[in-house]
Structure 1
């Protein structure tokens, strides 16, 4: 019998590891669910299969409690009845880095292969919007589809969905990424629970399917209808086979099948007979009313975002590159430790976790995970830096005497870098093993003469610096071959400007006793202070006003940016998901507030001012908010106002300019004592432009300043990662940040960039009342930004590279005087390519090959050239360079990579590869075997 329609029923459960319950309470429910699933599958083949929510961490979580069930679990996975992968966790898209998403896919595939075969399903059931590079990332992982629930259609209270118009005519659509990659998109138009709790009872089933068939047919482009049998933490419907038989009897013209995603996709592709709508780029619910986008999770619990940014940067931009360089020197690459650190970090990346929209217990545990991952990364960094520093030739410092203190500065970014940094050095140590009485050790260290010392580079040129004596300190070594070795030392902190440190390379300095052989280079030692309250270098001029705002003059373009750094405060009667300013209230600002201003630093390499605002802001929302929360009033309809009672908000801002700086660094600290409010800092650009550019995942995306006509929400805040930029053909202003993921380009006639520093709310939101007093974020906070003026093209003039480098901490390692294989100023890999951004350097766990990744920030084709930068790279390109995908699999496709061997002594071996517009390019480099 042929059927007019086919209903594909897919069993699943969407498993948020933590959300409205703490992790372990959800964990225990997961164990029960998995027990029931295995029992049901053991009963026979009529319950055909179950999709394990696309994330392999569920297997880890289950076996952690039920290790004795592994054989049963593996059997059903290998029989194709439990379908796993492709991810390790279901991560948020906009708040996690590109490399974190790649590691998520890599770990998910590796873990899935231990049990069976990873599914090739691009599964994003509840992700809060999707980035524009998703289709390319899917294609590079061998996935040609994306299943998603948000981004093109309004979703509101308790995940209700609207029937209003949206970008796609059907639940099936073609989604085209920034580079032109296409995937088949499947929108859960009636949500990923539209086939939940199917009745077995005949009368109930008749009503159920009469409604459900019509709902799916409303959006489906083919006869293949998708029904998701499950929902958030939904117990398995064990009697589903019986429910399917009931449905088949009631509706004989419909074929009801217990299906899976692969079979459903094959059926859809075979049945397609019409042109699908094409959606291009980001899916951010741009064409909706703007109330249910959940975008303000970008500012919920900002401290989590800051910890995440720091953790990601340490792993992908410091630990992995340093471990790769140490690997070239023969050190084993710590694959397992990296996997552990990444997994621990990624356990904070599900949307209900990193978005800060869970109960307080969840986010307390997240802080511990961030610390754990960071501690592993710091250990890898220390081990790698020590190994490399031991191989750096520091014998050039011998002429300064035996008490010279050499140290190596590492630049693990993809561009040459200059910046001010502080390094702590032990001027001298006395180990306890030497047997001196403790009092004698203390006396010798306290009486150590630190006078007459200077900082020099590897060529013996004096470098301007500031030395802070940190006094007597305790320390210890943990050798690999003996017991711990404690010591007392005299420690100093040296602050200086490291200039022109090569990309993926190092420079070596030493703190030495001054002698007549020093070649001074301090001609540029004049102050950077200028005017009454200003700073100036070759590139920029800064003037501070009485209210603490500042003006920046870009000396290259002549463009002047005024009233930068004014703070704005408004009430917030929303929740962790969404911001809502009380109706009829005006924003408070520091525009009319006189600030305390003083010089904080005046050195040859940096100037800084301290600005203090004493501000009174409302203490909280009024008592109406508590009632409205208890009555579950949907946040757009709330009428609460701000309290008449005020509390002090003291903001300490430090703005600094370094001698070679292309940007002004802003650091603000404050103790938040208020509730139910939002704090932002404003940067008017006064640039005429209808669009702006934003750093997103592997992409600098262009967004409209003005929202679509469907947008009703007065707020138009959006997501960012490293920076947001407003520019025209002649000038631009880039604002870089560290973990401040929410911004808005205001419709104020000045195209002001507003960056959210804090959002304080008292409830989770969504489907019930879950108080979250810790989401009020009371206490101390510190935020950092960099303001980077430029000539209008942030890609070619280096403004975006500066913003990316702002994300990456410096690494320094003290060492001794010794011979070594590497020169004191060394780069390992040199590369060039117009519009390209360097993203990753690591080692493949299977092949041992070095893996390097770039992405094209521009919409134009480019050519990437990569070569060994020095003898430090050894025979890096003596073997083979090959094109790879994000899974680090070799791709044999045409002549994408041309290997260039050295022609003569003046040229280095390397490779060349064409990079398409917005393309993510991964290159594998193998040595000769």
Structure 2
């Protein structure tokens, strides 16, 4: 009899490193699981293979406790019985940067090759939605498939699934990215546990397989049926071979295989005889009722997202570029430390970690990991910037009188940059080794004359700056060749506007004695200080009595009103999803008097401080506790807000820089309330049916109105660097630092609402797990920038400005000396109207420099690159950065190349 169908049973376990238990408690269970797996595989027999959840960190975690079992692991991996990789960790898609995803794939492949070959499986079993560029990332990794559980089919409470309204006719589909890349998508239509705990007993197996075979055939396009034998932290079913023999006896028309992903894919591709549905772009469960998307993990424990944004930006946008330039100057590129810093950071990137949807102990440990990765990164930055600053020729400042204090401003963004920079300088320093004694050393430092100095650039122009005397401070050097060197110093803080610092380059300044020239004339950005009106050449800001403000874009004439009003609502949901109490009317600060004062008035920046003391409900009412204990599904809850009030103090600083393209906001909340959400509102009053949001290597275009199936009153969504609403002739981009949730309100004004804080008291999902720390009591600070433009965020440079907002300036004090680098210098120059710069780093295997961009536009574009570094040739490669054939240089010795729509472009430079 010909077998009409084949049941591919794949043994696996989905291993959340931390979630409803802290990491180490899951860790103990992981060790026991792998022990049992190795014992089973050592016996030989019919238990053929096991998929280790697509993440190589499981190997690290296991061998940390069981190093003696490394050879056993290696043997079974080489024999193809344990399949590993391709990732280092299973990351969240929307809350981790593009470069973090690239490093994740690179490190996963590199670590897997230490044992064998990485499995070429695009594995996303439980990822909370998937970004549109995933097919391109898979194809550039040599992977032609994607296995996933969410994004197309609705998944709700306790991972139950719903029928109807599918975006694909089958569980198999073609997934196409915005650049046109396609992969074979496999939806876990009955979840990644649909073959879990297969019975050996015939009666139980009969009931099991009757249901399971029918469920799989309901969605499958062929007779090749996929059954996932495992689930979250699921112990291995060691008697699966016996269970398969029982199934074969009961169903002689079905072939049962203890399979693996490569064999399943080969069989599936060989049997496809019909066209599959094509699903394009992001998979965010758009065609669902909106209650099970888990989107509000973007605002759970916002402090984690902010720490992640800072850590990612420092690593990929500061430390790696600086280390690359320092390597050009002879400094060793510290690949080992970068790998350690990235791994430590990525250990916070799994969906239950970075999403903030675990128990409190998990997120306490995450804070320490963020700090550890940041400390390593800061050390790398300090080492690199010192090498670079010492190589800059600052002798131009030698003629400016006694003891000039040079400093080098470094711009590690991909575009020329102008902005306000703050640096702490040692005006004078005495080492304790000089033997003057603590008292005499301190006296000399306190008496050091700071008066009359000016800041000048490398061309001798006087640069307006403010100087804050920080007084007598202790410091120390840690030389490479001797014991630590403590000193006392007189330190000052300088703040000034650095102008036109070249992309991926630097510019030099010096704080010098007054012989330098005539001081710059005092000026102000306040056109009307009494009425709190700030202006530069392109923007005008007017502050109202309630702390809201009007922003006028002088280039377009567009006026944006009622900006910066705050909204507060109750939240009776959980770490996964927001739920406003039924019938509740949102509270706002509109009309609420604020205490307002001028904070800063300099030629380069004006700032206004706005303080609100806002009475809001202290928490939800008592009913919420009862509903949580009774496991009432959050959309069905009836709790309201408490009648008891508490004061929410909000301090907002609105700043406008002389050369600024946007208005910067810093909001500090002293949160004393529970069970609520705070958002900042920015009405655009622009006619638009769609908006744009920064996602992984993509400017995603999303509808303002959800699909007809959407029932959730909230339509919040993910962002990374910014969200933008644009009309025909004007647009407003709102950039943020680690504020990953926004909503374009359906209020007739296309208001952009950015979540600053969301406070809840339970994890949610499959049981009751209280999370008091998720109430986020205490002080929180959020930063944003509002960038008006002409209606095209790419052509106007608004999106580039939003990307630059993510990246801090780097400044380093140095001495007067000769050097190989000019006082104003960049090793690279590139041009493209549509591309965004993403990365500059060194490849560990080849020693080549790698630069990466992505096309922000759905149209083709051109990239021109010139390199001021001696090199043999340049080549185009993938995100895995393998060396490729040289590209022909243009007539200027650089590179000119065509880039496709939304293409991720990586260029390698082979040095001489």
Same fold (TM over 0.5): yes
In the aligned structure 2, how far is the partner of 1:508 from the partner of 1:813? Answer: 10
| Separation (CA, whole Å) in 1 of partners of 2:861 and 2:323 | 29
Matches within 5 A, 1:189-588: 189-515=189-515, 517-518=516-517, 522=520, 525-530=523-528, 532-588=531-587
- Distance (Å, rounded) in 2 between the aligned partners of 1:551 and 1:410: 33
Q: Is the 8 A contact 1:881 1:924 kept in 2?
A: yes
Equivalents in 2 of 1:802, 1:473: separation in Å? 36
Cα distance, 1:729 vs. partner?
A: 1.6
3-state SS of paired residue (1:900): coil
Alignment partners' CA distance in 2, 1:524 and 1:272: 75
Deviation readout 1:482-523 (Å, 9 max, x if unpaired): 0000000000000000000000000010111111x4266x35
* Cα distance in 1, alignment partners of residues 555 and 63 from structure 2: 61
Match of 1:899 in 2: 889
Query: Is residue 2:864 matched to residue 1:882?
Result: no
Count of matched residue pairs:
911
Structure 1 residue 889, shift from structure 2 partner? 1.3
Gaps of 5+ in 1: 903-908
- Provide structure 2 residue ranges, at least 5 long, that are not aligned to the other structure: none
How big is the shift at 1:913? Answer: 1.8
Q: Matches of 2:500 and 2:873 in 1, distance apart?
A: 30
Instruction: Quote the offset at 1:901 in angstroms.
Output: 6.0
CA offset digits 1:349-374 (Å, max 9, x no partner): 00000000000000000000000000
Give the SS at the match of 1:381: helix
* Alpha-carbon distance between aligned partners in 1 of 2:518 and 2:105, rounded to the nearest angstrom: 53
C-alpha distance in 1, partners of 2:171/2:61?
33
State the SS of the aligned residue for 2:526: coil
Deviations 1:786-825 (A, max 9, x none): 0000000000110000000000000000000110000111
Distance in 2, Cα, partners of 1:618 & 1:813: 47
Aligned to 2:117: 117
Q: 1:59 deviation in Å?
A: 0.1
The equivalent of 1:926 in structure 2 is 910
The SS at the match of 2:102 is helix
What aligned pairs does 1:625-664 form with structure 2 within 5 A after superposition? 625-664=624-663
Deviation per CA, 1:305-346, whole angstroms, max 9, x where unpaired?
A: 000000000000000000000011111100000000000000
Q: Aligned-pair distance for 1:527? A: 3.8
TM-score w.r.t. the length of structure 1 is 0.97
Name the SS for the 1:898 alignment partner.
coil
Query: 1:853 aligns to what?
Result: 852
Matched with 1:905 is: none
TM value normalised by structure 2 = 0.99
Preserved contact between residue 620 and residue 676 of structure 1 (Cα < 8 Å): yes
Distance 1:706 1:677 in 2: 25
1:605 paired residue number: 604
Q: Distance in 2 between matches of 1:14 and 1:206?
A: 26
- The structural deviation recorded for 1:911 is 1.2
Q: After superposition, where does 1:753-832 map in structure 2 within 5 Å?
A: 753-832=752-831
Partner of 2:895: 911
For 1:321 and 1:860, locate their aligned partners in 2 and report how far apart those are by CA, in whole Å.
Answer: 28
Does the 8 A contact of 2:402 with 2:513 survive in 1? Answer: no
CA distance in 1, matches of 2:895, 2:908: 11
Whether contact under 8 Å (2:525, 2:536) holds in the other structure is no
Give, in whole Å, the separation in 2 of the partners of 1:257 and 1:683. Answer: 57
> Contact 1:528/1:606 (CA < 8 Å) preserved in 2?
no
Partner SS, residue 399 of structure 2: helix
Contact 2:662 2:788 in 1 (8 A): yes
Other-structure match for 2:677 = 678
401-410 vs 579-588, which moves further:
401-410
**Aligned partners of 2:68, 2:335: CA distance in 1, in Å?**
27
Distance 2:540 2:645 in 1: 37
Q: Find the counterpart in structure 2 of residue 35 from structure 1.
A: 35
Displacement of 1:900: 3.0
Q: Deviations over 1:566-624 (max 9, x none)?
A: 00000000000000000011000000201111111000001010001110000000000
Mapping of 1:859-874 within 5 angstroms?
Answer: 859-868=858-867, 873-874=868-869
State the alpha-carbon separation in 2 of the partners of residues 635 and 191 from structure 1: 22
What stretches of structure 1 move > 6 A for 4+ residues in a row?
none
